[in-house]
Amino acid sequence: MAETAEPLVLPDVGHEEKTDSKEDLEPGYLVICWDDPVNLMDYVTHVFQVVFGWAKQKAEFHMLQVHNQGKSILTRESMERAEHYVHQLQKYSLHATMERD
């Protein structure tokens, strides 16, 4: 009588699904606002609300970071978006820069 062979089971070598979004894989750029002796705190809060669409509480939080710590990292974006935000902030006479994360 012939023996029946067990079926051959191969390890799962399929492709892993990537869960990282494209944004996570691209280099990020930080948008930074720096303290200056010119702009008033209410004005800076207003500009953050206009440029980023933030609620007043979030805008005030970042304004206070700028005031008390000398700078605030406002957001992390693609290079193009970061450049856009820096230019918008500079149009309102805020000292804003971007740097690679």
The two three-digit tokens of residue 42, written as one number: 């209410």
Q: What band does 4 get if pLDDT is binned at 50, 70 and 90?
A: low
Render 4-29 in DSSP notation, one character per residue.
Answer: PPPPP-----PPPPP---HHHHSPPE
Residue 45 has pLDDT above 90, yes or no: yes
pTM assigned to the model: 0.74
- Domain assignment of residue 6, yes or no: no
The pLDDT value given to residue 83: 98
- Domain assignment of residue 51, yes or no: yes
- Domain assignment of residue 73, yes or no: yes
- Domain assignment of residue 8, yes or no: no
* Chain mean pLDDT for the chain: 87
Question: 81: domain CATH number?
Answer: 3.30.1390.10
- Domain assignment of residue 80, yes or no: yes
Domain containing 78: what range?
Answer: 25-100
Count of structural domains within the chain: 1
- Domain assignment of residue 12, yes or no: no
- Domain assignment of residue 44, yes or no: yes
